[in-house]
Amino acid sequence: MENTQPKKFYQKKWFWIVLGIVLIIWIASSDSSTDTKSNTTKTSSSTPTQVEQPKEEIVKVTATKLAEDYDDNEIAADQKYKGKIVEITGTLKSIQAMLGSQFITIEGNQILSDIQCFFDKSKESELAALQKNKSITVRGKVDGKSLNVGVKECEIVK
């Protein structure tokens, strides 16, 4: 008489098939989760509801005024501008690339009170077309002041 014991669940073929299907579904859903996070307005066609996010207010300011505000009271200027989208107009002082960063400097109100606007590498051709001492308008997010007022995620408006 043979002594046959039933196979354990992990030794059965159906277990591995179900586990494989679950893993495939899990991997597929984790890849598409980035799509659902970036596009939250996708809904079924039977109930089209779009959630409109309020657009962030753009603060328009001259480079001179922005620099003056930071020189007068850095804490108050941070409360007014830091983390906010600003549209800055002024005179282009320099166009530079240093340590992998591309930035322009717009004249402020004093020697160490300029505005440094940092750009993504994809904006290189736009930066290459700029000329010093010309009027420029840039939009970006104020990052505060160290020596100069820093503005990140910039784009050229005109």
pLDDT tens column, 107-151: 887 777 888 888 888 888 888 888 888 999 999 998 888 888 889
Higher confidence at residue 6 or residue 38?
6
Q: Where exactly are the structural domains of the chain?
A: 9-38, 59-156
Termini Cα distance of the chain = 91
Q: Are 107 and 91 in contact (CB under 8 A)?
A: yes
Quickly count: other Cβ atoms within 10 Å of residue 103's Cβ: 20
Task: Choose which CATH entry (2.40.50.140, 3.90.550.10, 2.60.40.10, 3.30.200.20) describes domain 59-156.
Answer: 2.40.50.140
Q: What's the pTM value of the predicted model, to 2 decimals?
A: 0.61
Distance (Å, rounded) from C-alpha 147 to C-alpha 116?
Answer: 10
- Mean pLDDT to the nearest integer, 47-64: 70
Q: How confident is the model at residue 32 (pLDDT cuts 50, 70, 90)?
A: very low
Write the single-letter amino acid at 62: T
3-class SS of residue 33: helix
The answer, yes or no, to whether residue 38 has pLDDT greater than 50, is: no
- Residues contacting residue 97 through CB under 8 Å, at least 6 positions apart: 103
Q: What is the mean pLDDT of residues 49-63?
A: 71
Whether 103 contacts 119, CB under 8 Å:
yes
